[in-house]
């Protein structure tokens, strides 16, 4: 990606609850993907070029050409994980290995793509009781916490997610949540797979206006910038390498005693 080119962001949403539950439709009339797109565009302006994709579109809105033109993907799913075609999961995984960033939001912990990338069950405890959540910053100075003041931020009413969260040990732990019911949870976790950066961010239950919260929006925008591809290209293919001719001549091929087994 050339400098000054906008980051190409694809926001994927299964887009089910917003169409079949009035309570969710009220909070996200155009869908969670559109709310996230508006928030990112408002915050990052010309730094990003945002598109959305949903489950019911052909190839779930993420055919190969869209994936190839995506630097960072956001993923929100809950009710329809099983309806995501394995073939598209393969393709998204490959793009992550090649360097595409992936931000898995809330119930995407159970999505096929997140579980594939983690290699563990990714299950957790949960309770839908509108509890207060306090998200403690455990990585001050990390780009994902840019602009946050104070040691924590709070969401007044959330679905609880509690440990044990069956993920591999995160590379970096950015937030730990405490809930008024007593549970704690690793709410902001980073991973790398291949060349790609992955951020899991817990907030976002569909019946609470979580993605309208300014701090949550800021964290997601920060994460998009953090997850952008960086560094060298991906060299993930196996290949048979011939030894340099010079070293063959100077080493064993020049020594007949080493040919006994050949």
Point out which residues bind Zn ion (CB under 5 A).
107, 159, 205
Assigned token pair, 113:
């793509």
Between CA 123 and CA 113 the distance in angstroms is: 14
Q: Which residue number, 145 or 217, has a Cβ lying nearer to Zn ion?
A: 217
Q: Which residue number, 14 or 159, has a Cβ lying nearer to Zn ion?
A: 159
Q: Which residue number, 130 or 194, has a Cβ lying nearer to Zn ion?
A: 130
Extended strands (E) in 29-151:
48-54, 72-76, 101-105, 125-137
Q: Which residue number, 85 or 129, has a Cβ lying nearer to Zn ion?
A: 129
Q: Judge whether 174 and 138 are in contact, CB under 8 Å.
A: yes
Q: Which residue number, 71 or 159, has a Cβ lying nearer to Zn ion?
A: 159
> CA dist 112 to 51, 60, 180, 195, Å?
21, 14, 30, 20
CB of 208 to Zn ion, least distance (A): 9
Give the residue nearest to Zn ion (CB): 205
CB of 44 to Zn ion, least distance (A): 26
Helix (H, G, I), strand (E, B) or coil at 249: helix
- Read out DSSP for 120-147? S----EEEEEEEEEEEEESSTT-GGGTT
CB of 107 to Zn ion, least distance (A): 5
CB of 106 to Zn ion, least distance (A): 6
CB of 81 to Zn ion, least distance (A): 12
């Amino acid at each position: 990606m050339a400098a000054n080119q906008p980051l190409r962001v694809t926001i994927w949403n299964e887009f089910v609850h917003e169409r079949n539950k009035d309570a969710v439709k009220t909070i996200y009339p155009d869908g969670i993907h559109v709310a996230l797109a508006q928030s990112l565009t408002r915050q990052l302006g010309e730094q990003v070029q945002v598109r959305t994709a949903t489950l019911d579109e052909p190839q779930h809105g993420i055919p190969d050409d869209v994936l190839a033109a995506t630097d960072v993907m956001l993923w929100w799913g809950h009710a329809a994980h099983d309806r995501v075609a394995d073939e598209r999961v393969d393709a998204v995984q490959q793009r992550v290995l090649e360097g595409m960033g992936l931000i898995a939001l809330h119930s995407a912990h159970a999505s096929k793509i997140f579980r594939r990338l983690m290699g563990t069950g990714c299950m957790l405890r949960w309770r839908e009781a509108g509890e207060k959540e306090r998200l403690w910053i455990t990585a001050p100075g990390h780009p994902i916490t840019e602009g946050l003041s104070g040691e924590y931020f709070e969401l007044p009413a959330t679905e609880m997610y509690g440990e044990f969260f069956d993920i591999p040990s995160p590379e970096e732990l950015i937030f730990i949540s405490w809930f008024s019911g007593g549970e704690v949870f690793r709410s902001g976790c980073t991973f790398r797979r291949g060349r790609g950066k992955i951020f899991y961010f817990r907030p976002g239950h569909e019946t609470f206006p979580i993605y309208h919260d300014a701090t949550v929006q800021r964290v997601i925008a920060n994460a998009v910038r953090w997850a952008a591809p960086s560094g060298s290209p991906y060299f993930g293919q196996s290949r048979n390498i011939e030894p340099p001719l010079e070293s063959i001549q100077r080493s064993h091929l020049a020594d007949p005693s080493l040919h006994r087994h050949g």
